[in-house]
Amino acid sequence: MLRDIRPALVMMLLMTVLLGLVYPLGMTGIAGAIMPQQAKGSLIERDGKVIGSTLIGQNFTGDRYFHGRPSATTDTDPNDSAKTAPSPYNAASSLASNLGPTSKALVERVKEDVARLGGSKEKPVPADMVTTSGSGLDPHISPAAAALQVARVAQARGLPEARVRALLAAATDDRTFGVLGEPRVNVLQLNLSLDAVK
Amino acid sequence: MTVNGWIQILVFIAIVVALARPIGGYLDRVLEGERTFLSPVLGPVERGFYWLSGVKPTENQSWWAYCGGMLIFHLFGFALLYGLQRLQGMLPFNPQDMAAVAPDLAANTAMSFATNTNWQNYGGESTMSYLVQMAGLTVQNFTSAASGIALAAALVRGFARAESRGIGNFWADLVRVTLYVLLPMCIVLTLFYVWQGVPQNLSPYVEATTLEGGKQVIAQGPVASQLAIKMLGTNGGGFFNANSAHPYENPTALSNLVQMLSILVLGAAMTNVFGRRVGDERQGWAILAAMGVLFVVGVFITYWAEAGGNPLLTALGVDPSAGNMEGKEVRFGEALSALFAVVTTAASCGAVNAMHDSFMPLGGAVPLANMLLGEVIVGGVGAGLYGMLLFAIISVFVAGLMVGRTPEYVGKKIEAREVKMTMLAILCLPLVVLGFTALATVIPAGLAGPANAGPHGFSEIFYAFTSAAANNGSAFGGLTGNTMFYNSTLAVTMAVGRFAMIVPMLAVAGSLAAKRKTAVSVGTFPTHGGLFIGLLVGVVVIVGGLTYFPALALGPIAEHLAMLAGSVF
């Protein structure tokens, strides 16, 4: 086995140089040159300031905007650095709730959210509006969850509902090639198109 | 379940099967040392590697020499990754000023990536510098995957060769798989992922001002280059904490499809390599068919369980038509989340695009069971094939017992030594899984881990040790694993799960290679037909079932029954 020490060590170092430096740095250079927008994180700028990324959900609470899904991300508690506090859509620290299907905490949280949205057994709410996503940064909601919010947004902005509904339709993506994934609405892009309405 | 959901699943399966043979042919040429279309470019690099490290690639190593080289190589990988994490604060490519990783976490992570497990007791974007992600984690992703394929190739040579002293050359296998298979495929995949929206940069995290005027810090990094090998090498360790549920790590349904294909494609192709080597491709298809049966059953159960929604939430006024959406992303929905969960645990990948911890009790039981069965359904690159071939040895042994003949498999007599070594490899998994799970459920340091109460809490612990032993790396993520107890016990479990299986497996390879080929006679049990496939599936399920049913009953099964009764914990 002693005679394996040199090959093992040299191989590991060569692999590290090739696969750990040449490959990722080379790919960074190439990707940045030919697809700079994506390589830099699909960022959106408005008036010269970065306002987010098309791929990363944001926290919306006001009536004037469509809301995304609940988010389980956290951040360091400002009062006690050993703890964490809820911080929805914290894109520096993705996190899911990891609550199991029989969790009391899950059932209580959902009960509260259903009540807030005015849902009931007879008038159920879309599941994505009361469940947290896998990343805590889901940029999308289902078309059903968006439809539920049209009246509120239209009223808050003083726009006709038909206008808001048209913007929603334009922001709805169907399945890729008609087959892959699920129909979805990018919340940030929909809200940007609302802001663009004069 | 929807028609569209099943179309997606069937399209996926069809592509995997269609790719198995062409990629198997290419892999076979690479592993046999033949020229490929990349040789003009990569040949000099390959020879440079051999020259600098002083190895003779044509040397036919005994199983023991092959094994020794592999073990020392990974020991250096472990040490290097540990060192990089401990020193990252002083090294370049660290725009977020990440401090040194704590010793127990660094050791756990180093073992995790050196064994192709990629269990993560840390969140990538909040713990690791770009240098560690690239020169540490990405490198181990490549090398552990290449070594898995090399080991499977060694076992295949054991079956294919007659009266041979050796099973090939570890260094040649390692270098050739890395240069001719993994690296070129990853270069193409990286560009594809960037096109779909996966970032690839070295910038500091971006500070955005949201539409409502809030501040949002958005993590960045060289994500795509690591993602490519993470999936192709069935490693599964996410660049970000949320893994492939993170919209930067899996932005679209198309990137999701390609990620799932990358997980299975090399593992499926290895079955074809096996068939080609033993001179009868039907032998490879039979193994793939047995894997396929177990796979489809798993997908059906998980998809069914998830698509029905959570009855406890339906009772509160949640529409069940979209299924159980807790921990899932809208762009994937139920079909792609369920399929991904089965794919990632059928192979020893462990990447996730939805949180298994929030799956329905039976939906989460399938990933768990897939790992408990030893990840023989396609499996990790290489690891799945050698796992399944060990079960094939048990199957022909059982068949031999039934008719009173010395069992044979693809022309090799299976005798006492092979069966003993195979059982050793198969039994080391339950030993660490059940042993450590039992320990963790009785001592306070173990009980401090689970985030959920009741049977689900038990499932979290059970899943963790299963995932570590099977070198999978997916998690019921609620478990707080970054403690001295879990960091150390899980690291031991990962090492046993990888190396305690490999050493006896290579011993089998060595002893098979030395044997003469026996001629096929009328008494030979055909191992390419339906009867053998059925027997193989039966052996896998019975061995797994007998070993783990009691533990499964305490976790997912108890939770399912409690849920139907309306209990919460």
Is it the case that residue A20 has pLDDT exceeding 70?
yes
Q: Terminal CA-to-CA distance of chain A, rounded, Å?
A: 75
Identity of the residue numbered A77: D
Quote the distance between the C-alpha of residue B24 and its chain's center: 19
Nearest CA of chain B to the CA of A28: how many Å? 5
**Do A47 and A27 share a domain, yes or no?**
no
Q: Which of A44, A65, A135 is the best mutation test for B, with the most CBs of B within 10 A?
A: A135
Domain boundaries, chain B: 405-521+541-564
**Do A62 and A144 share a domain, yes or no?**
yes
**Do A35 and A47 share a domain, yes or no?**
no
Closest to B250 (Cα-Cα) out of B340, B132, B165: B340
**Do A20 and A64 share a domain, yes or no?**
no
List % helix, strand, coil for chain A (3-state, nearest 5).
Answer: 45, 15, 40
Alpha-helix runs per DSSP H in B161-280: 170-176, 183-196, 223-232, 253-277
Report the pLDDT value the prediction gives residue A40, as an integer from 0 to 100.
96
Residue A95 tokens read as 């996190």
**Do A24 and A62 share a domain, yes or no?**
no
3-state secondary structure of B144: helix
User: Which of B245-249, B378-382, B536-540 ranks highest by mean pLDDT?
Assistant: B245-249
Task: Give me the residues paired with residue B420 across strands.
Answer: none
**Do A52 and A120 share a domain, yes or no?**
yes
**Do A35 and A59 share a domain, yes or no?**
no
CA B49 to CA B31: how far, in whole Å?
16
Q: What are the Cα distances from residue B494, in Å, to B112, B152, B186?
A: 7, 19, 26
Residue B543 tokens read as 């061995």
Residue B392 tokens read as 């094939």
Nearest CA of chain B to the CA of A92: how many Å? 5
Interface contact flag, B314 A124, Cβ < 8 Å? yes
- Among the partner-chain residues B72, B241, B359, the one whose CB lies closest to the CB of A8 is B72
Residue B565 tokens read as 């009764």
For residue A186, what is the enclosing H or E element? Answer: strand A184-186
**Do A70 and A25 share a domain, yes or no?**
no
Residue B303 tokens read as 């998809």
If one counts the domains in chain A, the total is: 2
0.85 surpassed by complex ipTM? yes
Confirm if A71 and A137 have CB atoms less than 8 A apart.
yes
| Span B250-298, pLDDT tens digits | 999 999 999 999 999 999 999 999 999 988 999 999 989 988 999 999 9
Backbone angles phi, psi at A82, to 5 degrees: -85, -10
pTM for the structure as a whole: 0.95
CA B33 to CA B23: how far, in whole Å?
16
Find, in chain A, the residue whose alpha carbon is nearest to that of B182. Answer: A19
Report the pLDDT value the prediction gives residue B143, as an integer from 0 to 100.
96
**Do A81 and A6 share a domain, yes or no?**
no
- Looking only at the bridges linking them, the beta strands covering A43-46 and A49-53 are antiparallel
* Neighbouring C-beta atoms of residue B306, cutoff 10 Å: 28
Report the pLDDT value the prediction gives residue B390, as an integer from 0 to 100.
87
Interface contact flag, B178 A19, Cβ < 8 Å? yes
**Do A147 and A55 share a domain, yes or no?**
yes
Find, in chain A, the residue whose alpha carbon is nearest to that of B567. Answer: A102
pLDDT band for A1, please (50, 70, 90 cuts): low
**Do A30 and A54 share a domain, yes or no?**
no
Interface contact flag, A128 B330, Cβ < 8 Å? yes
**Do A170 and A94 share a domain, yes or no?**
yes
Interface contact flag, B199 A69, Cβ < 8 Å? no
Confirm if B449 and B424 have CB atoms less than 8 A apart.
no
| Span B367-393, pLDDT tens digits | 999 999 877 787 767 677 888 888 889
Give me the mean pLDDT over the B205-219 stretch: 95
Report the pLDDT value the prediction gives residue B522, as an integer from 0 to 100.
80
Residue ranges making up the domain that contains A35: 2-39
